[in-house]
Each structure stands twice: as structure tokens, then as C-alpha cells.
Structure 1
């Protein structure tokens, strides 16, 4: 096969407090026996990708140089942020966790995958025209599923499934989710409806509440409404939820949920205890929509926990057999339970336009972006199984 090159997005934060973004042309290595070369047709811009791509840069200082085909962007980074970024300073990093595309070359053990449309994960970055990945990190897409539909087959679907698996393993029976109108939140809602799991969806405005109710959500407390505390307490009482996944991170939301959970639990106690209810209440912080401190005043007894949570580490803990079963379910329900929707599609060059960056950097509900590394027309007609 003719040697391939790949145009790839790079990000760097320098030791003199600057963010740099540029497109770099790189040679595509030949695949080893168990690897494939994927032409990347679609890759989502997830919140975790934005964190790596932009870091804590001040986007009001974005400047563009280079050429229209090879733009180079710079922005200032607060000096106070540099100590926390020490491990990445002056390193050119690829971006993108997942994507989908056609296998154009393969090693000797997986040649049968050539021509197949696959979804995949890659630590080497997916905002690239081509990527070499282990065949074990690919999911062959079912017949009729496009690269666009398969681009988000890993992060959000497996996160939703891992949340439910965590609930079951830790002995809880219902869930609470914040920032619940997100792409992931809608997916989790559909999953819980399908599996008969009670879910409390905390949202940040009435429009988001209406969106979730329209797709079947029963409990949708709006944190900006005057009746939020009462609505949350009622929802927790009716569902019995004692586990929450918080995408916000900073602020007082974790405390608010724990206080409401404890109020429900103590109301059901036969007698008073100075230690509060023995019912364990757990909050997992998995997002950083608010990068400020997590504020907790201990007003909810002693049976509680607040900790970090990451889907990847959970799957490692669950084991290969469970992880494989979860991936099989994703593949089977990719256009239903685990469907993703995008508000905008951008090429590599378009994704570096300052106004576009500011738009996806908001991480606003209903404004999920899809990267098209090989251009807008490649995905047309690219569907699974028969490619």
C-alpha cells in the first residue's frame, strides 16, 4: 500500500504561559499484526477533549497566524495555572478520544477488517485524517450505521452503562444525575427508561427540563427554580436514590444533594441518632463544568462519601468480560438508546476558527460538535457492515 500521511491537530501549553494550536502533517506508521489503519471520518468534540485542547487558556486573547490551510492559534494562559500543568508544558499533544471511519490497511492477523467501518478509541488522538489503532480497540459497526452515528460509540454510551453498573455493584437502586440534559444525560435517561431504573435528572433551566420530559423523564428538578429544593427532596423520596453522578464538580451541588438524601433517610428512622442516618449516600464527581472548589458543609450525618469517578478505570475494575458485554450492548443499540446528535460539523481547519472554538468551548447543552478530519463529504454513504 502507498505510504500515507495524516493531517493532525496538536495542542501545546508552553512554559511561558501560551496555548498553541496547529495542524501537523505526520507519516502514518505501517500497522503491526494486530493493528489497523483507520481513515477517520468523524470524531466528536467531547468535554474531556476540550479540556485537553484548550486547557485554562483565556479565549479572549486568541490570535491567528499561519495560512488559511495551516492556521496557527495562540492564546494566553494564566501564570497561576502553570504549576498544575507541569506535566504537559512544552509537549505537543494529540487530541480526541474516539471516532469512526473505514479501515484502509491492517496487519496480518486482522486483514479481514479492511473495508469495514469501525468505531474506535485511541490515546494517540482522533482529530487526525488517519490513525493506527489496535484492532481490539475497534468496534465493527452494524449494517446501515454511518460513521457519524458511530463516532460517539465509546465515551458517552460506556459512561452511562458504567454508571448503572456502579449503582448495581454498590447496592443502590436509583440514580441522580446533574447537568442531565447533556448528550450523555439524554442517553442515560433513555437507558434508565429501558432498564426500569428510577432516575432523578437535575437540570439548569426550564428549557432543559422540557427537553427531558419530552423524551420520557419523570423526575426533572430545575436548580434555577424557586421550588428546586422541594422538587429534589420529593424526587429522592419517591425514587429512593442514594447515588449521584455530578458533572458540575465545583460549587455546592454535591452538598445540596447529600442534604436532601439525608433528610429523606432520617425521616424514615425509628429513633434519633446523633450520627444521622446509617444509609450510605454517595456522590461521584465525574465532570468539571464548574472548575471552582467543591464546597461541602457537613450537614448530613456520617454515612456519606464524595469521590472522583472515571469510566475507563471502572471498566478496568469490572473486568474484560463485563466490558465486552457492555460494548456489545452499545453496538446493538447505537441508533436507539445510545444515539448521539450534533448541532454542528466542522473540518480540522474550521475547528481552529476562533469563533468556532469559543462556541464549542461553552460545552452548552444541545451544542455538541462533530469533527470531520477528512472533509465533509467522506461520511456520505459510509455505513457499517457492507462498506
Structure 2
């Protein structure tokens, strides 16, 4: 069978239902299931999206209605298609065991029926099924088993983030919390990359994922994956994660970790960057309001130098268009009108044409992003990093297509 590359962002939250019922409290109000599939298909150019919070009963009613009306199509290989984009139904679950801190897990299911079955089972162990990322009060082993019984995929979410992740707030070793044999892959999160994660030997066996964890429509696609599959379905996603029959993740596209909002350890009181201290106090102001950075946490956990297994996909630093200085919404719309999608602008659009529409400065930033030559001011403590100004703009000349 002919295999082809597609882009996939597998962690997108739902803010509200179309009727205004809250789902992800911190999500944008216009972040509905239907708006997500439209954004991914028409504006982003992403062929596969994982829509988290599909466990919510009112969301499931919306999906069912659109399926009945023929707006969506349920695929034989799993997934729900809207135009040329397939939505994979997912859920984020908060777990905590043996007195450890909380961690978030992602579970994906083939279709609406299996998602409904999982929701019915999980409703016995959470307080509010309508809302996102509910605390699970049952046995973690039973949860792992139920996902497997329903043919689902289990993936630890943003594993190094200082709040509610396996390594960031729960345990020093993933195997102390989870049955590694039950996991289909590992999601890295915005403040880390493969070089950092491959310093931890127990992660060597897993396929890495880089996803947006979008809480608003513009954030969709700020991190994503390139999959080599035959068609965008749940079954093909499963084969890619387990690297079966030639399917695999071709590349992870993610922020340079320096742009991540938890990359460096930072004091929230005086906003100074720190190195980790035993006392947990800021050496500048004495505050205990210190947020541990992902880079420092990985330095604590690393049990070897970086070692990439043969199956590891290349990690390609991606600078989302929202980070590009001097690129406002009106100019972005001009670029979209010309080139179609953000993926096209980021990867393939001729730089000379970008310069004609958006100016030499924007084109130059995009060129440097493609060449991985941008410089950054590091993020930490909940504040994103940013691209350093180029100073005097340098134009783009000649045929600058890529």
C-alpha cells in the first residue's frame, strides 16, 4: 500500500459546546468540536487532529448529530472525517497514586461508540464527566486495562511539565507509576525536545509525540508530527506509534525548548532565572515561589548522555507564525489568502512572495526559522520565550523558494 506523509496534532482541547456549556474551563469559548475541525482543515492544513474532551456527553451529542446529518463521516479504520481532516477522539485524565503528585494521561479511541463505552465506565470514578481533565479516583491498573480492552491508545501527556505530569510532578521514573507495556507513545511537551528526553533510558523504546495542547484556535499546530501512513485513520495512527508495517513518525515539529514557558527554573516573585537549589528558595529575593524548569528537571533525572535509538524521528524546531515579530492578523490573513494554510507558509511558500505580502522583515524571520538560525530569549515560570529582534531588517533577494 502506498504510504504518504501527513501532519498531525493530537492534543487539542474543547473550550465549550456549541450551546455554551463549559468543557475546558481555561479553553477559549469558540473552541468547539466543529470549529476545531474547520480550523485544522481550512486554515492550518493538518490532516489528523486529536480532539481531547470527546468523553464529555454533550460533546458526544454534537458529534452524533453531525454524523447523522452527514457533515462528518465515521471511518472504517477509526476516526471521524471532516473534509480532508480526520479527528481522533481522545480524553485527558488526571491520575495520582501512592501519595505522588498528579499526572495527566491521554487516551484515544477508534470511534464514538468506544468513546461512549469508556465514558460510561469512567463516570463511576470522576465527579463531573462534562468537564475536561477530571481526577480519576479508581485504580490506575484498571484504567490501563480498560483503555486496552476497548482498543484504545494510552499516552502520558507533556511528561516534563512542572505541573501535573509524570516526571514534572509525580515520579522520578515512569515505570514507578505506569505499566510501560500499556503505553503507545510519550508526549514531550513544549519545553523539551528529543535531545533532552533521550537522556532518560526508559523512554528509549517509545515513539515521541509533539502536540500543541491547544486551548485556543490559533494555538492549533504550534507543535505537531509528520506521520508516514496510508490514510489518516485511527488504525494507521496506531501502526505509526508502534512502528508497524512501515508506518512511523517521520518527524516531530516542536518549539525550540527555549520558547517553552517552563524551560528554565524561575522565581515568580522577582522573575529571575535560577539554577535549582536544595532549599527551593530564590537566591535573589528569598521567595519560595519557584517554578522548576524542564531543563533542570531533566538534568536531575538523566541517567545517560543523549542517545537516540535508531527509530527516533528527527526533531525539527518549529516557530509558529504567532511567534513571528511584526506579523499581525491582517498580514497573516493576506498570506493565508495567497498560500492557503499555515503549514504551507511555514514550510513551502517562496520567501520572495512572502516578502511581497508581509514585508522583508517577516520573510527574513521565516527564512531564519527554516534554517534554524533564530535566536531566542528563554522562557520559564509560565512565561513563553520570544524571538530576539534582528535589529536592522535584512531583505530577501533572488528566488528564495524552499
Q: Same fold (TM over 0.5)?
A: no
Give the number of the structure whose residues are more often strand, by fraction: 1
Whichever of the two has the greater Rg, that structure is 1
- TM-score between both structures, scaled by the size of structure 1: 0.25
Higher relative contact order (CA 8 A, sep 6+): 1
